[in-house]
Chain A
Amino acid sequence: MEVCGTHTMTIHRYGLQAMLEKAGLEMVSGPGCPVCITPGEIHEAALRLITENENTILATFGDMTRVPTRLGSLQNTAPARGSAVKIIYSPEESLELARQKRDKEIVFFGVGFETTIPSIALTAQTAAGEKLTNYSILSALWLIPPPLRAILESGEVNISGFLYPGHVSAIIGQKPYEFIAREYGFPGVIAGFEPGDILLGILSILDQIRRGKPQVANEYTRVVRPEGNPIARALMREVLEPKDACWRGLGTIPRSGLKLRNKYSAYDAEVKHGLRIKARETDLPGCRCGEVLRGIRPPQNCPLFGKKCRPESPCGPCMVSFEGACLVRFKYQNPTS
């Protein structure tokens, strides 16, 4: 299983899948697309924020604006007077908006794994330092190791090893994956994002299987240090604390998400704007994104894939996100013969 959506992209963008299948290897896409695993109810809360409140700017990453929900998507919804959705490319931009538009309430709809979380945490810390009063974060922050345990516990996917995400590992290091080799006996490897990185990673897993010695290998040493990035982790600990979180498809997983600590609650959009989010794991009717994210349904086996659900008219988040397994499969097709 390649855990990370960017790995899924490399595998299909370079046509590795067909070559690997010829060699008897099947790659299964995992839950590593933050836009995809964020439950619909959180997207809907973001939507309600700008439709029910005037002079509110919701800043978020481009993919988030196209995710379909029961209330429509951020992109095709009509905001209240003076409110708007603003697409940003880095969390810092949302802070800059708050500094420049003092008469508006800025809510940063921040979504991400450990790769992105430190820079999101930094905005809360900076906002507190600058005593900004018009800034808050609607957070959808996810940790990678807990869902891997959930996938192994469920036993519903027949996998032989994990390609661990390279850039998440640059933050968390090797240690958080060790339970997978120790408790479950599954091999794994931290891999980079070039086609050669993927192949080296797979080779390492095969080697671990052959030797009967599962471990956490690191084939991405040019970026990932064994201990990760302690400074980034210290920042995350300072601003955020673990919480039980509900993932699309996977359900509630203990300590798999992060929320702002009480000290920073003035910057927590859920607290500040009194949001009540009852996240559930379910999809919109007909959508099978949940099963895709659990690794039990290949995208092309979804009845909507390529028919009703297409990049220009997505029925679920996996057809929206650049790292979504469905969009990747749709964009990068194998030749028919």
Chain B
Amino acid sequence: MKKISLELGSGGKSMRDFIARKIVPAFKNPHLAELLDASHLPGGIAFTTDSYVVDPIFFPGGDIGRLAVNGTVNDLVVSGALPQYISLGLILEEGLDWDSLEKILRSLKAAAARAGVVIAAGDTKVVKQGQADKIYINTSGIGKILARPSPDLIRPGDGIILTGTLGEHSLAILTARGDFGLEARVESDCAPLTFLLPFWKNGVFWMRDITRGGLATILSELAEQIPFPLLIEENRIPLSNAVRAAAALLGIDPLYLACEGRAVLIVPGRRAQDILARIKKCSLGKKAAIIGRVERAIGRPGELLLRTSAGGLRLLEPLTSELLPRIC
């Protein structure tokens, strides 16, 4: 009998195929079919849901509570909505210590306050020891639609802006797990992207938060939706020294590592510099950079190309196999 493999949840190609082949047809409706990070519903409401199973539940720069608020908030932001209310579903394993739970609740409260959302509904379940791992959280979120992402308006010459360095979240989780005997002073970038909301009014065509699958997977998905290739330049992609070194050591490409507080934006070419300057003024956007553009002359429609630091060109494919399970 065919069994579910970890790959299905990797955020890569197999997950996309699963959603397109099994989920969308099963519940056929126009909201789901759009496959946005949050669905746009009648009445100007955006709606999303996400479950958090990160292991370990506490890691440098955050914990499962902070992640559960910011992840859902960010899905609303990149779908063009102002996050307003979220729900909190807790699944606890029998035997979890009270101190951990209270710490996570405090963290949920602080993260909600920072992101400006109200935790307005909730549910708690406890399962027998071994039937879950400490704590899983589901949050759903509702937001007010400010703008509609419009990838159909993207044209050659438009700019690709990345709001910060890549891969800190993945590396923080790896370090916290003690995998590979790796030690690094690195904190997860887990943060709300609400500072990007005003930019929807500045002609931003499209935005995505960079989670599982990393920058390369997210941009190759966009490339498949539009009739122009995308080109990014390796030299312009901001990376911290810790991520650069750890990735080289482990043979992992930072372009496929997950973040929890970074986004990539497509903006009109003539406004790119101006938007970049304003993002850089925000505390979470200091390392932002224009990393590439929508192409016409190089590549073919559907392709995501990388200009390497040595000047060569190669194709970037979406992530195919699981890099690190239970990262969020």
**Residues of A in contact with B (beta carbons under 8 Å apart):** 12-19, 89, 195-196, 199, 311-312, 322, 331-337
Contact = CB atoms under 8 A, between A and B. Distances in A.
Nearest to A89: B180
Nearest to A322: B251
B315 A335 contact: yes
27 contacts: A12-B314, A13-B308, A14-B310, A15-B308, A15-B310, A15-B311, A15-B313, A15-B314, A16-B312, A18-B312, A18-B313, A195-B310, A196-B310, A311-B320, A311-B321, A312-B7, A312-B320, A332-B315, A333-B315, A333-B317, A335-B299, A335-B313, A335-B314, A335-B315, A336-B299, A336-B300, A336-B303
Interface of B: 7, 180-181, 251, 298-300, 303, 305-315, 317, 320-321
B300 A337 contact: yes
Contact of A334 (B309, B310, B314): B314
A202 B321 CA distance: 34
A195 B308 contact: yes
A283 to B, nearest CB: 24
A322 B253 CA distance: 12
A332 B308 CA distance: 11
A19 B312 CA distance: 7
A89 B249 CA distance: 11
Contacts, number: 59
A19 B314 CA distance: 11
Contacts of A337: 298-300
Contacts of B312: 14-19, 195
Contacts of B305: 335
A236 B307 CA distance: 43
A331 to B, nearest CB: 8
A115 B303 CA distance: 38
A16 B299 CA distance: 17
Contacts of B303: 335-336
A222 to B, nearest CB: 16
Nearest to B321: A312
Contacts of B298: 335, 337
Smallest CB-CB A-B distances: 3 pairs: A15-B312, A195-B310, A14-B310
Contacts of A12: 314
A239 B46 CA distance: 68
Contacts of B7: 312
Given A14-B309, A15-B313, A195-B308, 19 more contacts: A13-B314, A14-B312, A15-B306, A15-B310, A15-B311, A16-B312, A17-B312, A19-B311, A19-B312, A89-B181, A196-B310, A333-B314, A333-B315, A334-B314, A334-B315, A335-B314, A335-B315, A336-B300, A337-B298
Contacts of A331: 317
Nearest to A17: B312
